[in-house]
Each structure stands twice: as C-alpha cells, then as structure tokens.
Amino acid sequence: MQSGQGLSFEQAVELKPQQIKEVAFAPDIVLQNPRLWWPVNYGAQNLYRLRLEFIQDSVVSDVEEVALGVREISKELHELDSCHGLQLHINGRKIFCRGGYIQHELLFDWDRERMETEVRYFTSANLNMVYFEDIPNPPDAFLEACDRYGLLFGACFYSCYWLRPGTGLCSRR
C-alpha cells in the first residue's frame, strides 16, 4: 500500500455530548498524478492510506484508517443481436468482465480469513468481477480484499441480466 503524497487537511467541528454530525470536506484536496487502481490483469492495484483523526483539546480521541484506490468507473449500454448489454470502463479503458457469483453465509457470519480466501481464489482463476444477490452492503473486510486483489464487485438484482423493459426475455436469433 502506498502512503499518500503528504497531503493533510483539517476542519473544525463542534459537537455537543451524544451529538452526531456529518462532516464533509471541500474537494480542493487533490492528489497530483495519482497512481491508479486497476482490476486484476489490467494493471496494479495501487492503494492509498487515509488516516482520519479526531482531536479534542490537543489529544487524539478517535482514529480511522482506510485504504482507497483512485479510479474512474463508467459504463455504457450497448445492443448486439437485439440483446442489451453493459460495457464497463475503468480509467477510460473497456474491461472484459470475467466473473461469477458468490453466496454469502446464511447468517452473514463470514470471517476475514474466509473472505480473503474466496477473493484470492477468484483472482487466481483470472476472474475480475464477482456478484452478490440480496446483499446491498457486503462487509468492509470483503470490499477491502476486493480492492487489494483487483476484484470488481457488483450487486445483482432479480433477473437483472435477462429482462428488457416491456419486451420480456431477450432471445437470440
């Protein structure tokens, strides 16, 4: 993991006891020439470390560290033989998505080691995308492993890849 480029920022926040407040930072903090994150087999999975501290009376009272990758993700709907599909672009480059489906534990009781192992299996098989169904927010440990190994994650909704609005099932001629 890369350490950043020595950027720092701060914002004064006043909180009353038991108060919860959302804090946003102005987008004027910019990485100069960032090392981009790529899916497995398309480039390196460059990650930066972000450390956030909450300081009260000159004492650090809370710390959160996260890893993040800098990437631009876009998509484009296309049609081929009267069927619709989705082209995925990472950092402006069209990605050929190869992947599968992963089923979560029935009681959502995955441990970090199992999540890490499953993500490693996917990428060792040269797969670069995985889908879940019925889990809008997988565990942070799963998403962190995906970032480290270069695995894209997608949420699948019932029949999402076959149906076109108003036309029924897509059929090949």
Q: What number is the average pLDDT over the span 104-132?
A: 86
pLDDT score for 33: 85
129 versus 52: the higher-pLDDT residue is: 129
- Domains of the chain, by residue range, sit at 73-169
Q: What is the pLDDT of residues 72-115, one digit of tens each?
A: 999 998 888 888 888 999 999 999 999 888 877 666 677 889 88
Distances (CA, A) of 104 to 6, 116, 145: 38, 13, 15
Confidence of residue 44 (pLDDT cuts 50, 70, 90): very high
Q: Give the best-scoring range by mean pLDDT among 9-13, 48-52, 124-128.
A: 124-128
Helix 112-124 and helix 140-149: axis angle, to 10°?
A: 30
- Residues facing 74 on adjacent strands: 89
pLDDT at 31 over 90: no
Task: Reply yes or no on whether the pLDDT at 46 is more than 90.
Answer: yes
Q: What pLDDT score was predicted for residue 126? A: 94
**Cα-to-chain-centroid distance, residue 12:** 29
169 pLDDT higher than 60: no
147: DSSP letter: H
What dotted CATH number matches 73-169?
Answer: 3.40.50
